[in-house]
Each structure stands twice: as structure tokens, then as C-alpha cells.
Amino acid sequence: ENQYASFDPLADVVPPALGTCKSMPNGKMVTLSPGTYCDKSWTGKITLNPGVYILRGVSVKPGGNGTLTGAGVTLFLMEGSQIYINANEQVNLSPMTTGPYAGITIYQPHGNTSALTLNGGAGSVISGFI
């Protein structure tokens, strides 16, 4: 109450084009390459190679003792995508250091009202803008 409106440092960010959907590989341990993903859920131990990830209708829920790891990544949560990290899951994410999305780790546009829940376990580290 009685606070000035906050400045949104990401207000001018324009998300990348959605692109063609990539398929999610099978298995509980996966390594993904940058691109657009439209699968309904990501679970297990997920490693992200450096780059931009556009999630369309994706639910990221690693599950019991699951992980979400990536250095030099930016995740765009589009079309109702959400991230739910529970206390027993490990998250280690850092943003790209160059390019138009430098410093941004997770971006959720104003129109996406899905939950972004981060109850990461001990040792989880997310650096950059969320």
C-alpha cells in the first residue's frame, strides 16, 4: 500500500517467433537443444543446452528428485506454459550473457496467467531475470 508502481525492466522484450514444434525425447534423463517445444509435460532429469527455448502449452514439472539444468538459457513461457518446481527437485539455470535476451532466464508474457512456482530444494540456483 502507498507504494509507487514498479518499473518492468522486461516491458520492451519481444519474444522470438514461435517456430516449428520439436518433439520431446523419451526417457527420464533428457538433453534438449534450443527451439520450440509443444509437448504437454517435461519430467525427470532435464538438461538444456545453451540457447532460447520457446514453450507452448508445456508444463515443466521435474517430479520427485527431478532436475532442470541449463547454463546460458532463456525460457519463454508462451500459450499457458508453466513451471512448477517442488522442494525435492533441483534447479540450476543461468541466462545467456550476449544477444537480445542476455540476462533473462525465464520470461512469462503478461497474457500468460499460468503459475510459475519455484519451491526449489536446497542448492537450487536461478540467476538472471525471471
Nearest alpha-carbon partner for 58 in 34, 33, 75? 75
pLDDT at 2: 66
pLDDT at 101: 96
* pTM, two decimal places: 0.89
pLDDT at 37: 96
pLDDT at 82: 93
Measured CA to CA, the distance from residue 19 to residue 52 in angstroms comes to: 11
pLDDT at 5: 67
Measured CA to CA, the distance from residue 123 to residue 121 in angstroms comes to: 6
Beta strand 35-37 with 51-56 is parallel
- Residue 113 main-chain phi, psi, to 5 deg: -95, 10
Residues of the chain with pLDDT under 50: none
pLDDT at 121: 67
Residue 59 contacts residue 116 (beta carbons within 8 Å): no
Residue 56 contacts residue 90 (beta carbons within 8 Å): no
Measured CA to CA, the distance from residue 40 to residue 22 in angstroms comes to: 12
Looking at residue 113, the DSSP 8-state letter turns out to be -
pLDDT at 120: 63
pLDDT at 22: 93
